[in-house]
Chains A and B, each alone.
Chain A
Amino acid sequence: MMPNLIIDNKKIRVAKGTRVIDAAESAGIYIPRFCYFAELGAVGACRVCAVKFIDGPVEGIRMSCMVEAEDGMVVATDDAEAVDFRRHVIEWMMMNHPHDCPVCDEGGHCLLQDLTVAGGHGIRRFAGKKRTYADQYLGPLISHEENRCIQCYRCSRFYQEYCGYTDLGVMGIAQRIYFGRYKDGVLENPFSGNLIDLCPTGVYTDKPSRYTGRRWDFERTTGVCTTCGLGCSIMVSARYRQVVRLEAAFSRAVNGAFICDRGRYGFSWVNSENRPRQGRVAAKAMAPQKAAAAAAGRLDSLAEQYGAGAIAVAGSGRSSLETLAAWMDLCRRRSWRGFFFDDLAAAPAAPAAVSGLSPENVVSMKAVESADMILAVGADPLGEAPMLALAMRQAWRAGAKVFAIDSRDLEWPFEFQQVVAEPHEIVDLLSGIEPENEIGGNAGKHAGKMAAIQDQIRHSRFPVILCGTAIVDQSTALAAAGLVKRLRKNKKDTRLFYTLPKANTFGGLLLDHRVQPPDELIHAMESGEIKALVAVESDLWQNCTDRDLLERALNGLEFLCAADCMATELVSRADIVIPVSSVYEAGGIYVNQEARAQWSAPAHAGGTPVRITGAGGHPPRVIGSAIPGGDMPGAWQAAWQIAGLAPPAGPGEMLEWMTKTYPVTAPVKTMAAQGVRIFPLQ
């Protein structure tokens, strides 16, 4: 039964179990709160969500986060008594709050600041002394300023309950409640950056961007995290032509309200002074367009000399879908040797992941939280896709059993049972799992543990099979898909989740399932079949395990051109460098491991950061409207410049071109805020 209630004279119908604070929000009535956070649940610690219950099962002043909506409730959020109650609560909170808003980084997006102003509190009436705390060193990423604390318990609840780490928590009693570690030290939790977003005041603030600016000065937009294959939503803040910080943006389907520290802090390359910002031909700096023209000339003459087959392109899944499409198409039109995809070195099983997923068996990361049984094969979420480990923990907290088949020493923040098996054994183990019969004969010494897994699958309602792509080969990824198919045939709603290394590994394979692995490229370069290489945002060097071989292969090249926004090894070795704008400047579409294409909007227009043009001091004293260093093309525009043609006029035209050239990408035209799933055309 869905309860009906009245909040501020509005009739509201909500699902059973909804808290009054959420019921009000669903009707557009925002009740102030400090401690309540949907993901963390309610504890009623801050007392600021007090409302007046006028009629119904409970009456009087109650905390709206602690009361579940029931039939017949009449609630007033603006009742004089409730308003006065909240006003007093805020005044108590401010009793010990320091007078440091001007030097606090939270100022400008501080919930406590907002509610203090909203509550009308200005002058401290209490004449006594303010309580103070000693702060702690919590590592290079988070600043600690405990004086500002209002004891909402969000940090300790997130840290210990939601993430499962114990090195930060609450200590002391009464007026000495303290949130921190037992002693100074780097936080162990790989999701600790979320404390910054969660803290309703400035106890935890971002250290790398300390004092960089106020939120109202930032250019802010939602983007897609490009650090791994999950495609979490992020909020990008940019100022003075550089990215200041990344925060979690809410995504109902992917990451919920949080992101991992790797995603949050993995962007320093974009502001780096070493980043290629000028075109370079031999050792001479020039405009990016001129460098592209020079590269086009070189490639044409090499094609004439050795044939088009002597030219190859290397790209990676950190490029946007537009970039990958543009360069793959250029390769095809010019009959070059082909497009070599770096990600296949990091994830040999990735092609099977793309073919294994289907609209029936795919599952979003948020939905993994509702699984009641998870089997992870050859996957280490905490290392490969950290937010997935957090989703698995939520499933485990709700009672799910977690199993792993892996040879590695896994450490996850929840309980799980591991079958220690080598990657090549996994195929046999998976194919032995039968929905109906006894465990198959191939399990060998793992028979006991595998029988337990099979038993658990049989008794579960919504099992999820998780498969890595890094240490296993294609047959394992296909075996995982086969297992899911068998279970689904047996009327069990089983889902499949692959991990992929890069933001667009899926996208690259979606455009062309036959992209070649970098091993072949390196061998063809070494044997002299390939004379010229265009490295487009390529991670060839980083992914290569045999550096000597790669060194020889690169030395055998006649011409190396690098189009990149990162200062990679290939950029430093390239004969011609074309600097391109990053995802934060050009935007782009990224397809995550569950086939969800999402648009990452550009946060700023690009150009050399003021920090660099002003050498740390004030910006140069020149008058002009041009952006210094703002002439970098997007990586997809560089493909047209290389071809000597004018690129599509803008992102809209580019989308038009891409959906026409690669019909598989057509769904992106109808992309909603949550993205759209794209599967390979059958």
Chain B
Amino acid sequence: MKELFLVVHSLCTGFYTTLKHIFRGPATELYPEYKRPLPARSRARIILTVDPDGRERCVACYLCSAACPVDCISMQAAENPEGRRYAAWFRINFGRCIYCGLCEEACPTAAIQLTPSFEHADRDILKMVAEKEDLQVDHCGKDPNYNFYHHAGVADAIRPKGGHVNESPPVNVRTNMP
């Protein structure tokens, strides 16, 4: 008797679930007609952001290329006229990139960031190789505040020694005062 009840109950539950979905709209989104807004932290195409002053954030420290598990980032550091370290060239081979986000995690200046933009498949492998000008954007990305050069402590044409956050002015070596 109890078994019969169980069979009928599960039959009804099953049919009820099916019946319920008949009157529902489709869950599938029709891509590319509809493009769902992705969360900002989702990981796809990589950008090089600027600091709040509008200057390049990337200092070409090579940490992202060291962290990259597929070796798809290469660059050459140089010194710009303002006395800052910057990337003379910066290349990401998106044909190799696995969008793991380790470069973003390694970046000490918040320059390299992953964005939700994922639509850049191509048949031409060379079009997947992005140069610095393809990667640069004119906004701060996900970190609107951080400015590495306000904290770095190295002098450049913009900030002298002792002019950085929480720094004393340069010491006077020649004084005898205690």
Q: A residues bordering B, Cβ < 8 Å?
A: 98-104, 107-108, 129-135, 145, 147, 171-176, 178, 210-214, 216-217, 240, 610-611, 614, 616-619, 621, 623
Contacts and interface: CB of A to CB of B under 8 A. Distances in A.
Interface string B165-178: 01111111111101
Contacts of A172: 171, 173-174
A213 B55 CA distance: 22
B171 A103 contact: no
Interface string B42-56: 000000000000000
Contact of A174 (B65, B88, B90, B178): B178
Contacts of B88: 616-617
A176 B173 contact: yes
Contacts of B91: 618-619
Given A130-B166, A240-B76, A102 B151 contact: no
The 6 closest A-B pairs by CB, nearest first: A98-B153, A618-B89, A102-B61, A211-B77, A178-B173, A132-B162
Contacts of B161: 132-135, 147
Given A172-B173, A623-B126, A100 B152 contact: yes
Contacts of A211: 60, 77-79, 85
A26 to B, nearest CB: 33
B97 interface: no
Contacts of B178: 173-174
Nearest to A102: B61
A212 B153 CA distance: 21
Contacts of A147: 153-154, 161
B173 A171 contact: yes
Interface string B81-104: 000110011110000000000000
Contacts of A135: 155, 161
Contacts of A210: 79
B173 A103 contact: no
B113 to A, nearest CB: 16
A228 B132 CA distance: 43
A102 B109 contact: yes
Contact of B154 (A100, A130, A175, A619): A100
Contacts of A132: 153, 161-162, 167-171
Most buried by A among B88, B90, B109, B173: B173
A217 B62 contact: yes
Nearest to B86: A211
Given A103-B85, A147-B154, A617-B89, 5 more contacts: A102-B85, A103-B152, A104-B154, A173-B176, A216-B66
27 contacts: A98-B153, A100-B153, A103-B59, A103-B84, A104-B154, A130-B166, A132-B153, A147-B154, A171-B173, A176-B171, A178-B171, A178-B173, A211-B78, A211-B85, A212-B76, A213-B62, A214-B61, A214-B66, A216-B62, A217-B62, A240-B76, A611-B76, A616-B88, A617-B89, A618-B90, A618-B91, A619-B89
B125 interface: yes
Nearest to B171: A176
A240 B77 CA distance: 12
Contacts, number: 110
Given A134-B161, A174-B178, A103 B66 contact: no
A4 to B, nearest CB: 44
B72 interface: no
A641 to B, nearest CB: 35
Contacts of B59: 102-103
B161 to A, nearest CB: 5
B62 A214 contact: yes
B170 A213 contact: no
B34 to A, nearest CB: 35
Given A98-B154, A213-B62, A623-B125, A133 B168 contact: no
Contacts of A102: 59, 61, 63, 85, 108-109, 148, 152
B89 A129 contact: no
A523 to B, nearest CB: 51
Given A99-B152, A103-B61, A147-B161, A131 B66 contact: no
Most buried by B among A131, A214, A618: A618
A145 B167 CA distance: 15
Interface string B121-137: 00001100101100000
Contacts of A104: 154
Contacts of A611: 76
B154 A103 contact: yes
Contacts of A178: 171, 173
A4 B171 CA distance: 48
A360 B91 CA distance: 59
Given A102-B148, A107-B61, A621 B129 contact: yes
A616 B88 CA distance: 8
A171 B125 CA distance: 59
Given A98-B154, A211-B60, A133 B77 contact: no
Contacts of A129: 166-168
Nearest to B166: A129
Contacts of A217: 62, 65-66
Contacts of B131: 618
Contacts of B84: 103
A618 B126 CA distance: 14
A171 B174 CA distance: 8
A652 B50 CA distance: 53
